[in-house]
């Protein structure tokens, strides 16, 4: 036994002596690591804005095309987006100055190519000084004016010169879209009257038509009042949970709240598929291959192929045949 331990010890020493010393591995300078980190961060930021631009372009077409469906949920639409340096972390703001003009005043970073803003002559990186003769100091105060006014008169600074522009709005659905950093392939309509889209979904969609179908589906949830109805079901379920707890002392652990969320879920989704396809068509997108999107979703999420009682969405085969 002692001999065996001795030979094992000798073997370990031999292996250790043959292994390269950690001191021999070249060390990467901290400056080089930091430079590469900043380079990757810049690529990530610029890619985010490219995806956000694509998202905004499709969203604009949908909310303008579907304005008659939104009834009282209407806002003036001009087709441009603004930002200022206070909206970003200091490091990100510095990186973004390689692509945009960033200032305390709002500057233009996006213009839809067929919008009132484009036709009025607004340009990327224009710095907005006044809106309808009112001075603006940041993007938030500017947006408060823009979302209420049906006509705009802008005073902008462009390459050191002052330029006056006027534009008349179009009507559009008042719901907003927001792109968030997340790897999941997802989009959802939220109670705050927004539609959230992940960067993972933006990688997944293969065309503007695909994106229009997804956004149309989520916009349909708002247009058809599904979010309000679903929240009502959840509140009712919560009240039942509370009532049972008070009268019997039994903790239902939110069972009825969860069941409330499922009431009519499939029906809502079917309606959103149908109305969403119509919304995409109203936005000017070809929808004859709409069902192919759900086939690709089925490949990405195989569990969606099977139908179960508690599933909140129709199964992929059902969706394909329905559309």
> pLDDT tens track of the chain, all 323 residues?
555 555 555 555 555 555 555 556 778 888 899 999 999 999 999 999 999 999 999 999 999 999 999 988 999 999 999 999 999 999 999 999 999 999 999 999 999 999 999 999 999 999 999 999 999 989 999 999 999 999 999 999 999 999 999 999 999 999 999 999 998 888 999 889 999 999 999 999 999 999 999 999 999 999 998 887 655 444 434 444 454 456 665 454 544 344 434 433 678 888 998 999 999 999 999 998 888 887 787 777 665 444 433 344 555 555 544 55
Last residue within a domain, chosen from 138, 173, 208: 173
8, part of any domain? no
Last residue within a domain, chosen from 157, 173, 189: 173
> CA distances (Å), 249 to each of 64, 171, 242, 244, 246, in order?
52, 53, 10, 7, 6
Is the domain of 81 the same as that of 139? yes
Phi, psi torsion values for 186, nearest 5 degrees: -155, 155
> CA distances (Å), 244 to each of 236, 240, 251, 262, in order?
13, 6, 8, 20
Is the domain of 189 the same as that of 311? yes
Phi, psi torsion values for 118, nearest 5 degrees: -65, -45
71, part of any domain? yes
- What residues make up the domain containing 275? 176-322
Q: What is the total count of domains within the chain?
A: 2
Q: Which two tokens stand for residue 263?
A: 């009431």
Is the domain of 154 the same as that of 242? no
For residue 29, the 8-state DSSP code is: P
Is the domain of 136 the same as that of 207? no
Is the domain of 180 the same as that of 116? no
The whole-model pTM stands at 0.78
CATH number reported for the structural domain that contains residue 104 in this entry: 2.30.42.10
Last residue within a domain, chosen from 173, 202, 224: 173
| Consecutive H or E run containing 282 | helix 265-282
């Amino acid at each position: 036994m002692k001999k065996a331990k001795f030979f094992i010890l000798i073997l370990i020493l031999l292996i250790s002596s043959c292994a390269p010393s950690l001191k021999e591995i070249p060390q990467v300078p901290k400056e080089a690591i930091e430079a590469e980190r900043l380079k990757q961060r810049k690529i990530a930021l610029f890619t985010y804005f490219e995806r956000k631009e694509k998202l905004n372009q499709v969203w604009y077409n949908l909310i303008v095309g579907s304005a008659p469906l939104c009834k009282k949920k209407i806002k003036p639409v001009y087709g441009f987006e603004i930002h200022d340096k206070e909206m970003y972390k200091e490091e990100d703001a510095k990186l973004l100055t390689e692509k945009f003009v960033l200032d305390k005043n709002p500057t233009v970073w996006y213009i839809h190519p067929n919008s009132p803003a484009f036709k009025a002559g607004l340009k990327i990186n224009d710095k907005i000084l006044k809106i309808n003769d009112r001075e603006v100091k940041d993007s938030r105060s500017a947006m408060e004016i823009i979302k209420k006014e049906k006509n705009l008169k802008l005073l902008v600074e462009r390459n050191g010169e002052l330029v006056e522009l006027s534009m008349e709005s179009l009507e559009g659905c008042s719901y907003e879209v927001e792109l968030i950093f997340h790897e999941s392939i997802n989009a959802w309509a939220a109670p705050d009257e927004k539609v959230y889209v992940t960067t993972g979904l933006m990688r997944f969609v293969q065309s503007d038509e695909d994106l229009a179908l997804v956004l149309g589906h989520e916009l349909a949830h708002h247009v058809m009042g599904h979010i309000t109805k679903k929240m009502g079901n959840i509140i009712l379920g919560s009240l039942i949970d509370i009532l049972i707890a008070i009268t019997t002392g039994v903790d239902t652990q939110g069972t009825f709240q969860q069941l409330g969320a499922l009431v009519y879920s499939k029906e809502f989704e079917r309606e959103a598929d149908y109305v969403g396809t119509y919304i995409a068509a109203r936005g000017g997108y070809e929808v004859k291959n709409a069902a192919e999107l759900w086939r690709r979703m089925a490949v990405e999420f195989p569990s969606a192929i099977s139908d179960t009682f508690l599933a909140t969405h129709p199964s992929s085969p059902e969706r394909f045949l329905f559309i």
